A and B are shown apart, each in its own frame.
Chain A
Amino acid sequence: MACARATDNTRIALPRAHPRRTAAAFAAIVYLALPLGVHGAGTESFALKEIAAGVYVHPGQALALDAPGHDDIANIGFVVGTRCVAVVDTGGSVRIGRALRAAIGRHTRLPVCYVINTHVHVDHVLGNAAFTGDKPQFVGHADLGAALTRSRDFFLKNYAADLDPPASATQIIEPGQLVAIGRDLELDLGGRRLILRAWGKAHTDCDLTVYEAQSRTLFSGDLLFVQRTPVLDGSISGWLKAIDTLAAQPAAHVIPGHGEVQSDARAAFAAERAYLEGLLDGVRAQLAQGKPLQEAIRELQSPTQVGWLLWDETQPRNVARAYQELEWE
């Protein structure tokens, strides 16, 4: 596959050659061991899968947010209509956004008319600037703009290298078209309808899902993590409520924010639901016993899920967030 090459001197095809998760985890270790400069995974072989006719996904890598290649950890994709193309999430750097734009160009000459962000986290939004040349409508949750503004300094301080130099706030692009909670937005790509839904606080405070009606494909954003410890940044009770609705969708394909594409919504959300319910019950029990935050963190540290990536780092934070929410129930 021809592709945008940032570093042409290496052919590190490991993650591509081994589609299985164990291999991806192994690849993560290999990447960490590589000398600086040869990482930048994803641009030397920008993988793309056609999930259904006209629905494409670039699978993100199983890496931590501070690992080399961290800008390519989210699943990002696009839908091609007869009139134009909609992008769903743009990756964690302008470079990844550009690689996605180049990949789109290899499949269609239609313009990109919409760039949709599923939420505020870096790995889903920092590629937005790669699409400004298309003059698309940027679309997001009604609260995404505020969340991006709140995160702007954090992004510029910690992720400047993922923007074009000189890194500037103008590259952090806010949505021009907003989706309000309870008022789904329908976008017509020509022969393709996307239904955008904004959720109450769940993974974050600005989660948005995209449903492509014809192929019954659900882009869940980070409302679904597969084989990666979910990050709680919004509300644990809100997230479980969202899952109740999402798991009942008649989706034939579910594209999670992280992890492999799933084929059945109910089954897809089962493990994450079990995890969040366990976390909810565990923290409530700690609170009922009058246990302080640090004890709750300690007592709920043992993994309840097998093989999930980044458990050790993510679980304490999730317990802390759930505790601070549930102590006010």
Chain B
Amino acid sequence: MPRCDRPESGPRSQPRRGARARAALWILLSAAASFAGADTQSPANGAWQYMRGQFYGTRDIGEIGDQRMSIEAPASTPDPAATPVVLRFGPDLAGKVKQIRVIIDNNPSPLVTTMNLKSGLPVEEIDLRVRIDRFTSVRAIAETDDGQLEMRSTWVNASGGCSAPPSAAQAGTVGEIRFRPSGDARALQISIRHPNNSGFQIDPRSGDPIPPHFISHIRLLSGGETLMEADTGISLSENPTLRLATSRPLSTPMTFEATDIPSQQLFTATWNGGGVRAGNR
């Protein structure tokens, strides 16, 4: 079976990227389907067992020490459609991580993202918002420049006392991008208006499935260099949001790019520093 999520390693034509990402999605979905089912009481980790073999083979993976790396997510999510997941890297790892994968074991599409970071970029924190389908492990695996692997995981319960019916989707202009820096400019939150439809939702009016339509690739550039680049999928929330915090103020201008499936539309905006506002389209 081909690898599911080869990250970008250079410029590529849009259609090819789309085809590959689409293929990756179907592989993931079928992989997930074969693990779904039996155990709904505790988070099964079949998807992880499978992916571990696919992505990391028999390599050792460190799992101890919050000082190196940690993952935080609410034990019971306040909003299953947009659960905050926070990854933190201590001084040992900040600036040395080249790739991060986030996996939600019990989601229909477990691989949330494969993210590559520019060598030396001192990332201390990465925040994502994800969909949680049911009680599950959420895990992040970081690979350092010298090939070391670290994994941290946490459990998230999505039932929330059965009190959360699906809510109405938000309106808005697809592709609108917002930049929201922290006061000290060391952190930047980037959000893009997008339904990120999984393909599993049903149109309440027609009863037909809503076709998949989601952000499949994002990129953050500064001074002509790629700082961060990621393949993403349907486990990201509606209006996907990424927040990066580094140990030093971020340099400007910074350009964010996102591509979606299946329209292959490219959305882009540039942050020129300063306060909370939309970037230039």
Which residues of chain A have a CB within 8 Å of any CB of chain B? 64-66, 120-122, 145-151, 154-155, 158-159, 201, 204-205, 231, 233-234, 287-294, 297, 313, 316-317, 319-321, 324-325, 327-328
Q: Report the separation of the CA atoms of residues A288 and B178 in the bound assembly, to the nearest whole angstrom.
A: 13
Given A294-B74, A327-B180: A149 in contact with B168 (beta carbons within 8 A): no
- Shortest CB–CB separation between residue A111 and chain B, in angstroms? 31
Docked-complex contact B82 and A292, CB < 8 angstroms: no
Nearest to B187 among chain A residues (CB) is: A290
Residues of B within 8 A of A147 (CB): 168, 204
User: How far apart are A234's CB and chain B's nearest CB, in angstroms?
Assistant: 7
B189 in contact with A66 (CB, 8 Å): no
Kindly state whether residue B9 has any CB partner on chain A within 8 Å.
no
Query: Which of chain B's residues have a CB closer than 8 A to the CB of A288?
Result: 276
Number of interface residues of B (CB under 8 A): 38
In the complex, whether B166 has a CB less than 8 A from a CB of chain A is yes
Q: Which residues of A contact B193 (CB under 8 A)?
A: 328
Can you report 5 residue pairs joining A to B where beta carbons are below 8 Å apart?
A231-B163, A289-B183, A294-B72, A328-B172, A328-B239
Known A-B contacts: A121-B165, A205-B168, A317-B78. Give 4 more (CB < 8 A).
A151-B165, A289-B182, A290-B183, A317-B164
Expressed in whole angstroms, the Cα–Cα distance for A293 and B189 within the complex equals: 10
Q: Which residue in A66, A293, A316 is a CB contact (below 8 Å) of B162?
A: A66
Q: In the assembly, what is the distance between CA of A290 and CA of B82, in Å?
A: 18
User: At the interface, yes or no: B22 with Cβ under 8 Å from chain A?
Assistant: no
Residue ID in chain A nearest B125 by CB atoms: A292
Is B101 among interface residues, defined by CB-CB distance under 8 A?
no
In the bound complex, CA of A155 to CA of B168 (Å) = 16
Please provide the 5 A-B residue pairs with the shortest distance between their CB atoms, ordered closest to farther: A316-B78, A149-B204, A205-B168, A290-B182, A66-B161
Q: Which residue of B lies closest to A310 (CB)?
A: B163
Interface centre among B165, B176, B191, by most chain A C-beta atoms within 10 angstroms, is B165
A150 and B166 within 8 A (CB): yes
B contact residues around A146 at 8 Å (CB): 204-205
Chain B nearest CB: distance from A223 CB in Å? 16
Q: Which B residues touch A231, using CB under 8 A?
A: 163
Bound complex: CA of A319 vs CA of B191, how far in Å? 17
A321 touches B79 (CB 8 A): yes
Residues of A close to B41: CB separation below 8 A: none
**Are A149 and B207 neighbours in the complex by a CB distance under 8 Å?**
yes
Contact of B161 among A65, A145, A289 (CB under 8 A): A65
Are A292 and B189 within 8 A (Cβ)?
yes
State which residues 62-107 of B face A: CB under 8 Å. 72, 74, 78-79, 82, 84, 86
Encode B172-187 as 1/0 by CB contact (under 8 A) with A. 1000101011110001
A317 close to B204 (CB less than 8 A): no
Distance to closest chain B CB from A204 (angstroms)? 7
With A65-B163, A151-B165 known as contacts, the answer to whether A319 contacts B78 (CB < 8 A) is yes
Q: Which residues of B contact A234 (CB under 8 A)?
A: 167-168
- Are A316 and B161 within 8 A (Cβ)? no
Say yes or no: A154 contacts B170, CB within 8 Å.
no
A293 in complex: contacting residue of B84, B181, B182, B183, CB < 8 Å: B84
- The answer to the question of B17 belonging to the interface, with a C-beta cut-off of 8 Å to chain A, is no
Complex: how many Å from CA A199 to CA B279? Answer: 33
Q: B residues within 8 A CB of A313? A: 160-161, 163
Interchain CA distance A205-B183 in the complex, whole Å: 35
**Residue in A121, A150, A205, A317 whose CB lies within 8 Å of B79:** A317
Nearest CB of chain A from residue B108's CB, rounded to whole Å: 14
- The winner among A145, A289, A292 for most chain B CB atoms within 10 A is A292
Known A292-B84, A293-B84, A294-B127; judge A151-B160 contact (CB<8 A). Answer: no
| Neighbouring A residues of B189 by C-beta, 8 Å | 290, 292
- A residues near B168, Cβ cutoff 8 Å: 147, 150, 201, 204-205, 233-234
Distance of A328 Cα from B193 Cα, bound (Å): 9
Instruction: Provide the bound-state CA to CA distance between A224 and B72, in Å.
Output: 35
Instruction: Tell whether A294 pairs with B182 under 8 Å between CB atoms, given A66-B161, A149-B204.
Output: no
User: Across the interface, do B163 and A328 meet the contact criterion of CB distance under 8 Å?
Assistant: no
Asked whether A150 lies within 8 Å of B204 as measured between CB atoms, the reply is yes
B219 in the interface (beta carbon within 8 A): no
A242 to chain B, nearest CB (A): 15
**Chain B 137-171, CB within 8 Å of chain A: the 1/0 string?**
00000000000000000000000111111111010
A290 to chain B: which residues have CB within 8 Å?
Answer: 180-183, 187, 189, 276
B142 CB to closest chain A CB (Å) equals: 19
* With A146-B204, A233-B167, A293-B84: A320-B162 Cβ-Cβ less than 8 Å: no
Residues of A within 8 A of B170 (CB): 324-325, 328
Q: Does B243 contact A (CB under 8 A)?
A: yes
Contact A287 B276 (CB under 8 A): yes
Closest residue to A288 on the B side, CB-wise?
B276
The CA of A317 and the CA of B276, in the complex, are separated in Å by 24
Bound CA–CA A60/B239 (angstroms): 37
Closest to B186 in A: A290
Determine if A327 and B178 form an interchain contact, defined as CB atoms under 8 angstroms apart.
yes
Q: Give the nearest-CB partner of A316 in chain B.
A: B78
Query: In the complex, what residues of A have CB within 8 A of residue B161's CB?
Result: 64-66, 313
Chain A nearest CB, measured from B152 CB (Å): 16
Does the CB pair A293–B165 fall under 8 Å?
no
| Chain A residues within an 8 Å CB radius of B180 | 287, 290, 327
> Which residues on B sit within 8 Å (CB–CB) of A155?
165
